[in-house]
Amino acid sequence: MYVEIIGIIVIFVAIRALITQNRAEKLLYLNVMGFGVSAIIALVINTPFALVVAAAFFICSTISVNAIAYTLEKLDDEILLE
């Protein structure tokens, strides 16, 4: 039951990430999708190793979204010559 609810939320957030034009909102939605996928991994695989895999996926997805956000913030400060 929990897996289906989380799956629906992840699908909804993925659609929102495709629709929105704001980059900050897209990064927020990507982070939520990472949380959802790591929760689904932990709930579907019923072994202790699943928690390790889910934690690793969660940490890596959070780091990647933060790196993208940092890069986009630096790009906003640059002056574009046309």
Summarize pLDDT for 10-23 with one digit per residue, the tens: 999 999 999 998 87
Percent of the chain with pLDDT over 70: 91
Outline where DSSP puts E strands in 1-82: none
Query: Whole-prediction pTM value?
Result: 0.71
Residue type, 16: R
Q: In the predicted model, what is the mean pLDDT of the chain?
A: 83
The predicted-structure confidence for 20-67, as pLDDT tens digits, reads as follows 988 778 888 888 888 888 888 888 888 888 888 888 888 888 888 788
Q: CA of 19: how far to CAs of 25, 34, 71, 74, in Å?
A: 10, 18, 22, 24
